[in-house]
C-alpha cells in the first residue's frame, strides 16, 4: 500500500470513528474467508461494519477519538466492528458468532467514549433490542391511558346503573 492510499484509509477511518457510537475490537486468527464474509454480512444487516485494518493505521486514525482508549489492545491481527445505530443488535451478532466460531475473540470495545470489557459487551448483548424496548414503553403508555379511561368512565356507568335499578324498583313496586 502506497503512502497516499494509507493517508486516505486513515482519513476515512478517522471520520467513521468520530461518528461511531459502538466500536468493538476482535481477534480473527483462524477464521477463513467464508466465515469472515458471513460475519460481515450479518453485521451489515444489523447496521454495523467490519473492518480489518493494520494496527499502525488504526493507531493513527484513532487519535482524538473515543477509540484511542483501546490503544493498548492494538496488537495482533484485529478486526474492528463499528456501529452508529442500535448498539445491542451488533453485540448480539458478535457474541452469537463467537460462540459458534471459537476463532473469533472479542477483546474490548468503546460505547459512547466509555471502555467496555469483554464481559460488559456480553452483558450488553443480553439487553432487549431498541424495538423491543420501544414496544414495551408504548404498551406502558397505552396501559396508563386505558386505565384512566376505565376509571373516568366508571362514575357515569355506575350512576346509570343506579338510575336503572331505581327505575326497575319503581316499576315493580308501583
Residue 81 backbone dihedrals phi, psi, to 5 degrees = -105, 125
Return the pLDDT at 95: 92
Residue 158 C-beta-side C-alpha neighbours within 13 Å: 6
Give me the average pLDDT of each 10-residue run along the chain (174 residues). 87 89 90 91 91 90 86 89 88 92 91 90 87 88 85 87 90 77
Please list the residues that pair with 51 across neighbouring strands. 80
Question: What does the block give as the cell for 69?
Answer: 482508549
Work out how many domains the chain is built from and give that number: 2
Same domain as 152, residue 116: no
Same domain as 168, residue 93: no
Return the pLDDT at 174: 60
Query: What range defines the domain where residue 155 resides?
Result: 129-174
Same domain as 91, residue 7: yes
Return the pLDDT at 50: 92
Same domain as 150, residue 73: no
Same domain as 119, residue 50: yes
Same domain as 141, residue 112: no
Same domain as 150, residue 108: no
Same domain as 81, residue 8: yes
Return the pLDDT at 100: 92
Same domain as 120, residue 161: no
Same domain as 20, residue 77: yes
Return the pLDDT at 38: 92
Residue 28 backbone dihedrals phi, psi, to 5 degrees = -130, 20
Q: Give the separation between CA 118 and CA 141, rounded to whole angstroms.
A: 35
Return the pLDDT at 69: 86
Amino acid at each position: 500500500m502506497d503512502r497516499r492510499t494509507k493517508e486516505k484509509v486513515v482519513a476515512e477511518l478517522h471520520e467513521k470513528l468520530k461518528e461511531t457510537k459502538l466500536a468493538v475490537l476482535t481477534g480473527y486468527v483462524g477464521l477463513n474467508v467464508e466465515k469472515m464474509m458471513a460475519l460481515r454480512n450479518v453485521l451489515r444487516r444489523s447496521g454495523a461494519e467490519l473492518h480489518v485494518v493494520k494496527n499502525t493505521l488504526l493507531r493513527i486514525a484513532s487519535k482524538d477519538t473515543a477509540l484511542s482508549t483501546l490503544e493498548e489492545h492494538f496488537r495482533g491481527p484485529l478486526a474492528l466492528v463499528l456501529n452508529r445505530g442500535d448498539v445491542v443488535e451488533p453485540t448480539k451478532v458478535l457474541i452469537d458468532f463467537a460462540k459458534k466460531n471459537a476463532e473469533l475473540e472479542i477483546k474490548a470495545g468503546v460505547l459512547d467514549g466509555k471502555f467496555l470489557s469483554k464481559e460488559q459487551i456480553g452483558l450488553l448483548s443480553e439487553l432487549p433490542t431498541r424495538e423491543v424496548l420501544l414496544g414495551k414503553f408504548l404498551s406502558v403508555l397505552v396501559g396508563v391511558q386505558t386505565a384512566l379511561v376505565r376509571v373516568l368512565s366508571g362514575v357515569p356507568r355506575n350512576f346509570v346503573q343506579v338510575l336503572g335499578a331505581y327505575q326497575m324498583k319503581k316499576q315493580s313496586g308501583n
